[in-house]
């Protein structure tokens, strides 16, 4: 079966850089469209979906991170890569808090960008990552992007996670228990109880494993072999081993 041609929307008011990225991506068979501002970018979602969006941060009017939030409202399942020449802690935190797949520095490492585009285009194993600690979710997302075939979809709150779950058929989910807008176990229950025939599985990470384990035992509708409780602080190799078994 032939894979569909990947499509990438590149947004940057630096037209020289955007055109350079566009030419390089076109050379490897990517369908590329360029936009110079948020308004032009959002208009590109009127009649199509994108494999990946690449946006600069500093632009006139709405900046790239505000645009990222708008994209996640309009098309939550679209992966968004943020590029910036000012990757300070606040900017990086804002990007991860808004659902960025990754934050890369300018000048852009074009080889790394090409590798990411190819990875996203080939990924067949979507995994939800729900964690409100922006540093941790950035690290987890970066780790999962290194796994073959895996495409992480990060969220720092239940609201975005539920929007993602409505449009993405996740193979697995990594969910924090305590979140700013609710309890992660509620979403785990929703995912595990779906009557769509999927055998998706869930890892819940928490600093309160005994409390959570009791809640799971008390819920007769949760299939225990599809849910894993991982206590914080956890060993990354253990997490990756669980996820590899799940997807």
**How many residues appear in the chain?**
247
Tell me: do 117 and 143 sit in the same domain: no
**Do 114 and 131 reside in the same domain of the chain?**
no
Q: What per-residue confidence (pLDDT) applies to 227?
A: 84
**One digit per residue, pLDDT tens: the chain, 247 residues?**
456 789 999 999 999 999 999 999 999 999 999 999 999 999 999 888 999 999 999 998 999 999 999 999 999 999 999 999 887 889 999 999 999 999 999 888 888 899 999 999 999 999 999 999 999 999 999 999 999 999 999 999 999 999 999 999 999 999 999 999 998 988 998 898 886 767 788 999 988 777 666 666 556 555 557 888 888 888 888 899 988 888 8
Q: Which of 171, 161, 77 is nearest to 126 (CA)?
A: 171
Single out the residue of 174, 165, 187, 194 nearest to residue 242, CA to CA: 174
Helix (H, G, I), strand (E, B) or coil at 229: strand
Q: How confident is the model at residue 19, as a pLDDT?
A: 95
**What pLDDT shows up at residue 2?**
58
Report pLDDT for 149: 94
**Count of domains for the chain:** 2
Phi, psi of 98, rounded to the nearest 5 degrees: -95, 0
Whole-model pTM: value is 0.92
Domain assignment of residue 91, given as a range = 7-121
Same domain, 94 and 141: no
Q: Check whether residue 156 and residue 218 sit in a common domain.
A: yes
Domain C-terminal end among 98, 121, 144 = 121
2 within a domain of the structure (yes/no): no
Task: Give yes or no: residues 90 and 149 share one domain.
Answer: no
pLDDT given for residue 129 in this prediction: 98
Is 236 domain-assigned? yes
Q: What is the CATH number of the domain that holds 221?
A: 3.40.50.2300
**Residues 130 and 242 placed together within one structural domain of the fold:** yes
- Render the burial of 118-155: b for 16+ CB within 10 Å, e for the rest: ebbbebebbbbbbbbebebbbebbebbbebeebbbbbb
pLDDT at 211: 65
pLDDT at 219 (0 to 100): 60
**178 with 213, same domain?**
yes
pLDDT at position 202 = 92
């Amino acid at each position: 079966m032939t894979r569909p041609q990947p499509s990438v929307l590149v947004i940057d008011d630096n037209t020289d850089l955007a055109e350079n990225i566009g030419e390089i991506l076109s050379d490897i068979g990517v369908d590329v469209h360029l936009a110079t501002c948020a308004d032009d970018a959002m208009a590109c979602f009127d009649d199509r979906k994108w494999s990946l969006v690449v946006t600069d941060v500093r632009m006139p009017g709405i900046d790239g991170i505000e645009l990222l939030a708008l994209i996640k409202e309009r098309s939550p399942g679209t992966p968004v890569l943020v590029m910036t020449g000012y990757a300070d802690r606040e900017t990086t935190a804002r990007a991860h808090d808004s659902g960025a797949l990754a934050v890369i520095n300018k000048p852009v490492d074009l080889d790394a960008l090409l590798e990411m585009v190819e990875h996203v285009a080939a990924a067949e194993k979507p995994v939800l990552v729900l964690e409100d600690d922006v540093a941790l979710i950035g690290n987890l997302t970066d780790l999962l992007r290194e796994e073959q075939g895996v495409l992480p979809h990060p969220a720092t709150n239940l609201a975005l996670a539920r929007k993602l779950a409505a449009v993405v058929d996740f193979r697995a989910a990594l969910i924090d228990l305590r979140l700013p807008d609710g309890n992660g176990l509620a979403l785990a229950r929703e995912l595990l109880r779906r009557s769509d025939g999927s055998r998706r599985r869930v890892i819940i990470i928490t600093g309160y494993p005994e409390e959570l384990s009791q809640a799971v035992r008390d819920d007769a509708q949760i299939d225990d072999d599809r849910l894993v409780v991982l206590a914080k602080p956890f060993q990354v190799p253990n997490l990756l081993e669980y996820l590899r078994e799940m997807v």
